[in-house]
A and B are shown apart, each in its own frame.
Chain A
Amino acid sequence: RKEVEQDPGPFNVPEGATVAFNCTYSNSASQSFFWYRQDCRKEPKLLMSVYSSGNEDGRFTAQLNRASQYISLLIRDSKLSDSATYLCVVSFSGTYKYIFGTGTRLKVLA
């Protein structure tokens, strides 16, 4: 089983739609969680950290469910510019090493 698993998609959604991605992780010792965004052939960029209490940044909401070992990302009112690959990232307690999922591809259609 992979340490971090994501549905690769693609998710094709119309502009203005709400879309949600889930990511599961296998190691219950995981401590830090992030969503990164990667545009085609570019470097990953931090979208948001994910906290136990959940957090929101504008149209983006991230949730963590430790009991079921998954994190989620919700995007409201999708924009064309949201088209990208969204990477789920997990870091284990005591290490600075990040484990990346393979990403979920989102395409927002006009």
Chain B
Amino acid sequence: NAGVMQNPRHLVRRRGQEARLRCSPMKGHSHVYWYRQLPEEGLKFMVYLQKENIIDESGMPKERFSAEFPKEGPSILRIQQVVRGDSAAYFCASSTPGAPYSFGPGTRLTVL
């Protein structure tokens, strides 16, 4: 059973470009979560999604960030007009209801 998959593993963007991060949950997992980790800091919650629904986006910046989890395909975290402060590791996790998270390997975003 494949684990949570994320791609790309590394992404380099110039300021003002768009970044698209993809996450495929573990088979059978209906809940997806996105977290951001800045260097030397803890993981910060961004958004919690189920298929076709955003359940909790209280950790998402109000502008430039959006997330979706369509009926078919992976969950996407989209960052428009990236700035240097967006450079971080973005981790996706998935779970079944009430079970502990399983994390993907993360996408390391570098904004030049």
Contacts and interface: CB of A to CB of B under 8 A. Distances in A.
21 contacts: A34-B100, A42-B106, A43-B105, A43-B106, A44-B43, A44-B103, A46-B102, A49-B100, A87-B42, A96-B48, A96-B55, A96-B95, A96-B97, A96-B98, A97-B45, A97-B56, A98-B33, A98-B101, A99-B45, A100-B35, A101-B42
B97 A98 contact: no
Interface string A69-92: 000000000000000000100000
Interface of A: 34, 41-46, 49, 87, 95-103
| Interface of chain A, main secondary structure | loop
A41 B103 CA distance: 13
Given A42-B106, A49-B100, 12 more contacts: A41-B108, A44-B91, A44-B103, A46-B100, A46-B101, A96-B33, A97-B48, A98-B33, A98-B101, A100-B43, A102-B41, A103-B42
A41 B101 CA distance: 18
B45 A98 contact: yes
A31 to B, nearest CB: 10
Q: How many residues of B sit at the interface, in one of the four size bands?
A: 20 to 34
B104 interface: yes
A95 B41 CA distance: 23
Most buried by A among B42, B44, B95: B42
Nearest to B45: A97
A105 to B, nearest CB: 10
Contacts of B103: 43-45
A43 B91 CA distance: 7
Contacts of A45: 103
B22 interface: no
Contacts of A49: 100
Contacts of B41: 102
A49 B100 CA distance: 8
